[in-house]
């Protein structure tokens, strides 16, 4: 048991370091991704450079522009890349989820058309699954795709998607649609790729309670797509979506935001109940200990996952617990920090609040993190069912024609 | 045993709800939320004054209705439920209570009628910066009837006419009344987690100040003022927490996932049951606080602390788990969930954070049990 | 809002006080109920004296030996009675649940036969509902009652009940039995009263993890009962049981055991992390505050309930939250207290442990309290469904013949 | 990245499990539980010694297997899983580690081979009464090589041969070895929450004592000993916690309520998911502790504290919610649930309660972050 690279890994790390030293940006270029920010040009340039050197998707086969590498090599690259002031990465959903789906289900021409530009950052993709009425239940999608009445074999897509990350700057998307409302919900769906510049597509940013707008609503009005844009068989879209979602798990990041170390630093400098530094308060010290232990537990759980990858194994179930812990901790820690500030904690002006209002920002963002990418409750269900092998919830919607399913509408 | 509000008080409550449903729907609250230039809802404030609520607990001789604190409690609960964007707490729970508690006849006669009539907005200024304020930490001072120092944040400091300020005079803490429209006062609005309530930084440079209560008694007095306010704030918190439970329940009963309403899943059912339990415990503690407030009982510090702690916990839990029950839509600006999340923070912090009250509670219990 | 009696209540309290002064025992007589303890004679004597004066069941009609009083009068009596060193009360299950059921469903002769002796404490009753395979699900009872083959119309009962409080010293019991396994589970049950001295009935105390044995297993082997012992119609026992269980809610008591005041007292006298008294530790102080606030919340919730009774109203739903809070608090408080003792906390010898080992006893008893009379989980379901009006859990057992229901056996 | 046990270590673990399944089923544990006259399972102790486990981490030159601490960790996990009723922790994690850490050559050569051979049972005695022991609180003292004082509770004090005792010499804390079979020692068994583990009160009256390690270093040394033991205890706790999750899962999958297995209810599913999450966090922290222990890393105090805190929390939660998942039957003496509930208390308290370790952790972080 150690934290060392294997000789092969060490060699790969050295190679990556050398390349990054020579090629990575020397200074940061803004970090506001929301709304396409000023960093987009830098992001695209960095992506193109990585692609040219084979570092854009290391685990992809060489014929797609990857290195045919293993997951630990990708991890090593990510670790080393993070030491440089790199611009944000708006390509991950496309490269991690959408393009592999297209590549699996589209014909060779389509694959050839899309893989390269996506890899080089020239085209950005988004994933259009969630719907207002669906929430955690992707198979409940109501967005309709019907054959065009002109007999061309084209499809017309109408409906609404929601919580679409990056839709505002995406060029293409994959969208799951209802094609047969008479079939049970999982059996009447079909997947298509769409051009996000189509005039029938309207993207509206969602105004979050935290103030930002990282997600979008996407409205489809008679968007015409060719039958060749279909991915997989008609009414077989649920299976296609599973391929996409399988890739999602590896892409979910942990929480950022103010952590135990920031809390400790703040506590050191604040007056506590008796005027002495708040860090002397045993109640806060116990909380600090708990948060530290959780954070370390997650860190070393990631180390166990990486070890499995390094040994060529599939990571164990332990890798599924990250967000469930970090989102709740973010909320609790921010809550405790704001209370530690006492009356002053209500102030969220970055010019006035300690740490530029990081605790207040966390407090307003945490409720979203507890929901995005699977609510606390859905994640516990997933652990219970997929990891522990407990039975699924009782399903009342398995064999009911979709159109007859109760929706409360 | 008669541990509940009277029928008359319950009638007042239901009338207050009707009034606020008509005059303070969340669409009106959002006008304050979304417009930085609008620190509070002036029309609502005027209407509330016309209802007589500002003087509900002020004696008739000073222009109030002379009802009592129990009546104020039921009004507070409804204001909390409505997340009303008005300086009611600052004016009524803090300033009017302070003056009734410690004011001399001239102060009472001069100020209380104006409060009851809606002519004076109040504020209370204790905090001077991040962290807990202890007696030795007070920097603001009064010399020769002139007050100098900085207070931040002051809830409603940007719109108030009269401010109660904790400051030192001859090295001893005292409470002082300052006319915020007078000389030597600079106000700057500060941004907070709850934009539906106003807040400011007040900079005093030789502002004329008159003492409220005895010299050197400022800290003991402000604790008594906070105790009284804590009970009333607890009712606002109970009102907000109950509204969150209602919202969560209504949404859970109409939202379908996997072919059935989400209210049929135990994860949601038990979450709502937890909310209910916390809300009821908070309500019971608030009732005891109301009794202590209304009877001026010696148990007041303990009762007020318990009411504040339970209500802060209940509202926080209900506000955050209401968002969680709503899922993604609960995180949007358009849904009202965040109004309650924000207000739960405002009410928890405005009279000092719950951890300060826990310490206060245990100190009192310690003394009581040692005696 | 006050804590005063109404004039009528005050008068009643005065009357009760006078009577108790003259009649209540002057000193305690042991408190070990388990196994019938030495206090049984005292318990019976005190019950007989109360019955003679009409105080045994104040709300019962006068023709049954009650006073036709209201619930608040019973509460007042209980409050005043508790100020005297009274012996334990093993009659409550019988008087509160069993005898009212018998009285509702039996003929007048039977009623006349049982009400008086039960009221006077001469006969003790137990309630035989729970079964090993049933748990929270009383309607899943498997104990069979079949007609005797001799054509007498008698029934033969065979099976096993469990968690029966007081079975070891009971004279009679009411037992719910399966009479029709072909009907859905709720529709094939029948209720009987039985004589616990029947040789076909065997009572075995359950050895609890906490050491004590307050509950029993009860085994039935061809116990013959007359058809006249049947309560309600054949196969209609579920409805009868609801009458019994409706009365249970009012009978459930709160947790006893060491509370915040004991914790505070212990903390005052123990060295803390830095050698100073543990009561200076802010982490413990915050816990104390939380426990106090919960305990006060429950106390004043009871006051609200009593107020409703006093005003002649039905108590609101708030009365259902007591055990759910107090059982968990008992476990957490005991846990924290034992940790406060540090290494020494493991000692549970009453001669050595602080407060005669009260915290250690609580720690071992709390798991039972979280289960008895409805688990935390069942109680939350009850609050969600009965108080908040949320839907019941999805039922798979509603229309299935009982014999075809999956049981895992 | 190589943050896992090796294949050899995993093989040792599976062999250990097989051995304990055969030699320490809970029926055997119950013989100790139910019989007050039986302080531990002597046959199991002998068999464990024969397996060489007592000397797994003792160098070959001192009669051990000379494997390493990682091997000891996997054995510890299996012992915890089996709630083994033997003085393994006292003898191996505490005494043997202390002697390897601070013993001189003579002490090592004299004692370690006997431990490895199963000829000496060890114990460690620090506590003298209720509450946290601080340096100034130590009353036991050594004068002229003779130790006097009372230690309570001493795990395995009733059966141990050799005891490590914290005592003052010339006013300074030191660690001392005392032959419990020698003169000046009185042992009285004390009843504890976990009757499957022995405990005693030891009264020393001029018992011959030899110092272990430097004079005056007793507190620093015992902290190092506790750090090492904490990591190994954490593995026992992880083993116990995982077994609780298995028991709860198995029962939930076979127990029917309202026509379906209780494992199909979210209240149970999410409870078991919570257990799983806590257990995995505990395991990851324990692994880091194992790495620090095995490499003698400077991070040891922090790593050991984190391992102990996480494992104590996980085992407590798993043990109590395992009973809850079982419902009524889980509260009976006959079910094994309470064996784990009891052991979770024993393991949490034996090297000092988690709150003591939280303070220790934060003190270290404080210094580290200030540096």
Chain A partners within 8 Å of C273 (Cβ):
282
Do residue C175 and residue C292 come from a single domain?
no
- With b meaning 16 or more CB within 10 Å and e meaning fewer, what string describes A346-356? bbbbeebbbbe
Cα separations (Å) of B11 from B18, B71, D8, D78, D371?
Answer: 11, 10, 77, 66, 63
β strands within B51-198, DSSP E: 122-125, 141-143, 146-155, 162-169, 172-179, 185-189
Sign of the alpha-carbon torsion through D63, D68, D72, D75: negative
Q: Check pLDDT > 90 for residue C232.
A: yes
Are C375 and D324 in contact (CB < 8 Å)?
yes
Q: What is the pLDDT of residue A34?
A: 41
Contact between chains at C352 and D152 (C-beta distance less than 8 A):
yes
Provide the pLDDT for residue B235: 98
* Residue D129 pLDDT: 96
Residues of chain A with pLDDT > 90, as a percent, come to: 67
Say whether B332 and A208 touch across the interface (CB within 8 A): yes
Contacts of C339 in chain A (CB under 8 A): none
Q: Based on the domain organization, do B108 and B146 belong to the same domain? A: no
According to the model, what pLDDT value does residue C35 have? 39
Dist. CA C188–CA C181, nearest whole Å: 6
Query: What confidence category does residue C247 fall into, taking pLDDT thresholds of 50, 70 and 90?
Result: low
CATH of the domain at D105: 1.10.540.10
pLDDT in tens, A88-131: 899 999 998 999 999 999 988 999 999 999 999 999 999 999 99
Of the candidates A321, A251, A322, A296, the one whose C-alpha atom is nearest the C-alpha of residue D3 is: A296
Determine the residue of chain A that is closest to B125 in CA distance: A343
Chains that contact A by 3+ CB pairs under 8 Å? B, C, D
Full residue range of the structural domain in which residue D16 is found: 7-116
pLDDT at A37: 54
Instruction: Specify the 3-state DSSP secondary structure of C277.
Output: strand
Boundary of a domain, candidates D116, D139, D164: D116
Chain D residues with CB-CB distance to C134 below 8 A: 257
- Checking if the pLDDT of C120 tops 70, the result is yes
Determine, yes or no, domain membership for A291: yes
pLDDT band at D4 (very low <50, low <70, confident <90, very high): very high
Pairing of strands B199-212, A144-147: unpaired
How far is Cα A18 from Cα A14, in angstroms, rounded to an integer? 6
More confident residue, C137 or B169: B169
**Does residue C267 have a pLDDT over 90?**
yes
Judged against a pLDDT cut of 60, whether residue B217 lies above it is answered with yes
- Residue ranges of A 40-99 with Cβ closer than 8 A to chain B: none
Closest residue by Cα to residue A409 from A128, A130, A132? A132
Digit-coded pLDDT (tens) for B16-58: 999 999 999 999 999 999 999 999 999 999 999 999 999 999 9
Q: State residue C252's pLDDT score.
A: 40
**Cα–Cα dist D161/D156, whole Å:** 9
CA distance C382 to chain B (A): 9
Band the pLDDT of C138: cuts 50, 70, 90.
Answer: confident
SS3 D104: coil
Last residue of a domain, one of D55, D86, D116: D116
Tell me the per-residue pLDDT of D28-45, one tens digit each, with 9 for 90 and over: 999 999 999 999 999 999
D172 located within any domain: yes
Query: Is A298–D276 a contact, with Cβ atoms under 8 angstroms apart?
Result: no
Give pLDDT, residue A405.
76
**pLDDT surpasses 70 at B2:** yes
Question: B265 vs D266: CB contact, 8 Å cut-off?
Answer: yes
* Angle at the Cα of B102 from the Cα atoms of B307 and B171, rounded to 5 degrees: 100
> Residue C397 is encoded by which pair of tokens?
């057992």
Query: Between these two residues, A133 and C54, which has the higher pLDDT value?
Result: C54
How confident is the model at residue D371, as a pLDDT?
Answer: 62
If asked whether residues D244 and D360 sit together in one domain, one would say yes
In a domain, B350, yes or no: yes
Residue D49 lies in a domain: yes
Q: Which residues of C touch A282 (CB under 8 A)?
A: 273, 281-284
- Give the domain CATH number at C167: 2.40.110.10
| Statement to judge: residues D235 and D366 lie in one domain | yes
Q: Which residue has the higher pLDDT, C59 or A281?
A: A281
**How many residues in total does chain D contain?**
371
A403 — pLDDT class (breaks 50, 70, 90): confident
Residues C213 and C144 in one domain: yes
Contact between C298 and B281 using a beta-carbon 8 Å cutoff: yes
Report yes or no on B2 lying in a domain. no
**C293 vs B5, B272, B309: nearest CB:** B309
Task: Check residue C75 and give its pLDDT.
Answer: 87
A284 CB neighbours in chain C (<8 A) are 282
Is the CB of residue D65 less than 8 Å from the CB of residue D55? Answer: yes
Cα separation, C383 vs B146, whole angstroms? 58
CA distance D352 to chain C (A): 5
Within a domain: D288: yes
Using CA atoms, how far apart are residues B246 and C198, in angstroms rounded to an integer?
54
B77-81, C369-373, D94-98, D126-130: least confidently modelled range: C369-373
Q: How far is CA D254 from CA B323, D250, D262, D274, in A?
A: 36, 6, 8, 20
* pLDDT, average across residues D244-265: 94
Same domain, D42 and D175: no
Main-chain phi, psi angles of B304, to 5 degrees: -65, -40
Q: Does C1 map to a domain?
A: no
pLDDT of residue B371: 62
Closest residue of chain B to C281, computed from CA coordinates: B359
Q: Structural domain of residue A355, as residue ranges?
A: 253-372
In the predicted model, is pLDDT for residue A260 greater than 70?
Answer: yes
Q: Span C222-246, mean pLDDT?
A: 91
C246 and C278 share one domain = no
Given a cut of 50, whether residue C36 has pLDDT beyond it is: no
| pLDDT exceeds cutoff 60 at A32 | no
* Any domain includes D1: no
Q: Is B281 on the interface with C (CB under 8 A)?
A: yes
Q: What subunits touch chain D, counting only 3 or more CB pairs under 8 A?
A: A, B, C
B60 Cβ contact partners less than 8 Å away, ≥ 6 residues apart? B66
Judged by a CB distance cut-off of 8 A, whether residue C391 touches chain B is yes
Same domain, B223 and B186: no
Residue A95, domain member (yes or no): no
CB B319 within 8 A of CB B330: no
Residue C137 phi, psi dihedral angles, 5° rounding: -105, 80
The residue with greater pLDDT, A400 or A190, is A190
A349 with A273, same domain: the answer is yes
User: Residue C113 domain-assigned?
Assistant: no
A276: pLDDT strictly greater than 70: yes
Closest in B270, B355, B365 to C380, CB measured: B270
Whether A312 maps to a domain, the answer reads: yes
pLDDT tier, D108 (very low <50, low <70, confident <90, very high otherwise): very high
Look at A135-144, C159-168, D161-170 and tell me which has the smallest mean pLDDT.
Answer: A135-144
Both B191 and B288 in a single domain? no
Question: What distance in Å separates residue C309's CA from the closest CA in chain A?
Answer: 40
Asked whether the predicted pLDDT for residue C251 surpasses 60, the reply is no
- The mean-pLDDT minimum among A252-256, A327-331, B291-295, C74-78 falls in A252-256
Residues 6+ apart with CB under 8 A from B165: B124, B125, B126, B140, B147, B151, B175, B176, B177, B178, B204, B209
Q: Identify whether B1 is part of a domain.
A: no
B126 CB neighbours in chain A (<8 A) are 343
Condensed to tens digits (0 to 9), the pLDDT of residues B222-277 reads: 999 999 999 999 999 999 999 999 999 999 999 998 889 999 999 999 999 999 99
**Could you tell me if A23 and A55 lie in one domain?**
yes
Domain identity same for A314 and A356: yes
| Residues B73, B196 within the same domain | no
Nearest to D2 among A261, A310, A390 (CB): A310
Supply the pLDDT for residue C256: 64
For A34-83, the pLDDT digits (tens) are 434 568 999 999 999 999 999 999 989 998 899 999 888 988 999 899 99
The domain that holds D350 is classified in CATH as 1.20.140.10
Same domain (yes/no): D230, D203: no
User: Is the pLDDT score of D196 beyond 90?
Assistant: yes
Q: Do C293 and C267 share a structural domain?
A: yes
pLDDT interval class at C33 (50, 70, 90): very low
The answer, yes or no, to whether residue D230 has pLDDT greater than 80, is yes
Instruction: Check whether residue B27 and residue B110 sit in a common domain.
Output: yes
Query: Does D86 fall in a domain?
Result: yes
Indicate whether C316 pLDDT > 80: no
- Summarize pLDDT for A279-327 with one digit per residue, the tens: 999 999 999 999 999 999 999 998 998 888 888 887 776 667 888 999 9
User: A203-253 pLDDT, tens per residue?
Assistant: 999 999 998 888 999 999 999 999 999 999 999 999 998 877 776 544 444
Same domain, C351 and C329: yes
Question: Which A positions 248-287 lie with beta carbon below 8 A of chain C?
Answer: 273, 281-286
Exposed/middle/buried for residue B101 (C-beta within 10 Å: 0-12, 13-18, 19+) = middle
Domain co-membership, D223 together with D365: yes
Would A315 be classed as within a structural domain? yes
Same domain, D247 and D350: yes
Of C342, C347, C408, the CB nearest to D132: C342
Residues C368, C260, single domain; the answer is yes
Go through D236-272 and write b for each residue having 16 or more CB atoms within 10 A of its CB, e for each that does not: bbbbbbbbbbebbbebbbebbbbbbbbbbbbbbbbbb
H-state helical runs in A172-281:
237-251, 260-269
Residues 296-315 of A with CB under 8 A from D: 296-301, 303-304, 306-311
Secondary structure of residue C144 in the 3-state scheme: strand
Among C106, C236, C227, CA closest to C155: C227
> Is residue D149 located within the same domain as residue D67?
no
Mean pLDDT of C179-191: 92
Mean pLDDT estimate for chain D:
96
Residue where a domain stops, chosen among B169, B190, B216: B216
CATH number of the domain that residue C284 is part of? 1.20.140.10
Number of domains within chain A: 3
Confidence of residue C171 (pLDDT cuts 50, 70, 90): very high
What's the structural domain count of chain D? 3
**pLDDT confidence bin for A27, thresholds 50/70/90:** confident
Q: Do residues A35 and A64 share a domain?
A: yes
Same domain, A177 and A192: yes
Residue tagged 């669906």 (tokens): A134
Residue B25 makes CB contacts below 8 A (sequence gap 6+) with none
Question: Is C206 in Cβ contact with D332 (below 8 Å)?
Answer: yes
**Whether A261 and A306 share a structural domain:** yes
């Amino acid at each position: 048991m150690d934290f060392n690279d294997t000789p092969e890994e060490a060699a790969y790390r050295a190679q990556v370091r050398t390349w990054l030293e020579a090629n990575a940006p020397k200074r940061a270029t803004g970090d506001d991704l929301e709304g396409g920010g000023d960093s987009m040009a830098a992001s695209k340039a960095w992506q193109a450079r990585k692609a040219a050197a084979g570092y854009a998707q290391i685990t992809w086969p060489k014929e797609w522009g990857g290195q045919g590498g293993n997951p630990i090599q990708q991890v090593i690259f990510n670790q080393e890349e993070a030491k440089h002031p790199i611009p944000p990465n708006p390509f991950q959903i496309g490269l991690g989820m959408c393009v592999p789906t297209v590549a699996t289900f589209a014909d060779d021409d389509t694959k050839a058309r899309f893989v390269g530009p996506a890899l080089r950052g020239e085209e950005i993709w988004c994933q259009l699954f969630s719907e207002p009425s669906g929430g955690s239940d992707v198979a409940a999608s109501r967005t309709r795709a019907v054959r065009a009445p002109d007999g061309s074999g084209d499809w017309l897509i109408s409906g609404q998607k929601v919580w679409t990350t990056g839709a505002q700057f995406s060029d293409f998307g994959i969208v799951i649609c209802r094609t047969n409302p008479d079939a049970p919900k999982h059996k009447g769906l079909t997947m298509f790729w769409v051009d996000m510049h189509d005039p029938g597509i309207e993207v509206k940013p969602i105004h979050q309670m935290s103030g930002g707008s990282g997600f979008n609503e996407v409205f489809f009005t008679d968007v015409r797509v060719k039958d060749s844009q279909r991915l997989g068989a008609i009414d077989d879209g649920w299976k296609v979506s599973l391929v996409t979602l399988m890739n999602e798990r590896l892409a979910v990041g942990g929480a950022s935001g103010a952590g135990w170390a920031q809390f400790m630093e703040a506590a050191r400098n604040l007056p506590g109940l008796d005027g002495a530094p708040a860090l002397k308060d045993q109640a806060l010290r116990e909380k600090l200990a708990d948060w530290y232990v959780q954070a370390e537990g997650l860190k070393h759980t990631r180390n166990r996952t990486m070890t499995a990858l390094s040994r060529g194994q599939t990571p164990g179930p332990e890798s599924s617990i990250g967000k469930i812990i970090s989102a709740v901790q973010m909320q609790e820690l921010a809550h405790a920090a704001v209370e530690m500030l006492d009356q002053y904690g209500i102030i969220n002006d970055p010019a006035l609040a300690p740490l530029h209002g990081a605790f207040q920002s966390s407090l307003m963002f945490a409720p979203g993190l507890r929901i995005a990418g699977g609510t606390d409750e859905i994640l516990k269900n997933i652990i219970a069912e997929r990891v522990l092998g407990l039975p699924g919830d009782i399903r009342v919607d398995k064999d009911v024609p979709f159109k007859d399913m109760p929706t409360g509408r | 045993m008669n541990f509940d509000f009277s029928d008359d008080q319950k009638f007042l409550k239901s009338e207050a709800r009707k009034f606020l449903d008509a005059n303070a729907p969340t669409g009106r609250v959002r006008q304050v939320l979304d417009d930085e230039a609008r620190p509070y809802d002036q029309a609502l404030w005027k209407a509330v004054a016309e209802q007589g609520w500002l003087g509900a607990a002020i004696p008739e001789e000073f222009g109030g209705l002379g009802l009592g604190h129990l009546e104020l409690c039921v009004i507070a609960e409804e204001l909390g439920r409505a997340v009303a964007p008005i300086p009611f707490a600052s004016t009524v729970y803090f300033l009017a209570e302070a003056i009734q508690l410690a004011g001399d006849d001239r102060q009472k006669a001069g100020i209380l009628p104006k409060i009851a009539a809606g002519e004076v907005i109040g504020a209370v200024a204790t905090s001077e910066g991040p962290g807990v304020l202890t007696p030795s930490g007070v920097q603001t001072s009064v010399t020769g009837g002139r007050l100098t120092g900085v207070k931040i944040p002051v809830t409603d400091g940007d719109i108030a006419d009269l401010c109660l300020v904790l400051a030192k005079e001859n090295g001893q803490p005292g409470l002082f009344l300052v006319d915020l429209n007078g000389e030597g006062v600079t106000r700057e609005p500060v941004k907070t987690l709850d934009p539906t309530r106003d807040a400011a930084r007040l900079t005093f440079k030789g502002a004329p100040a008159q003492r409220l209560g005895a010299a050197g008694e400022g800290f003991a007095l402000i604790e008594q003022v906070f105790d009284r306010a804590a009970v009333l704030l607890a009712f606002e918190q109970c009102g907000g927490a109950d509204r969150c439970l209602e919202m969560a329940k209504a949404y859970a009963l109409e939202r379908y996932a996997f072919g059935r309403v989400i209210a049929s899943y135990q994860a949601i059912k038990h979450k709502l049951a937890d909310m209910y339990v916390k809300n009821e415990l908070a309500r019971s503690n608030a009732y005891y606080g109301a009794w202590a407030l209304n009877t001026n009982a010696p148990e007041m510090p303990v009762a007020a602390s318990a009411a504040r702690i339970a209500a802060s916990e209940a509202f926080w839990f209900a506000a955050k788990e209401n968002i969680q029950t709503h899922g993604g839509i609960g995180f949007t600006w358009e849904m009202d969930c965040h109004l309650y999340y924000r207000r739960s923070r405002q009410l928890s912090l405005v009279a000092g954070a719950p951890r300060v009250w826990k310490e206060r509670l245990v100190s009192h219990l310690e003394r009581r049990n040692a005696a």
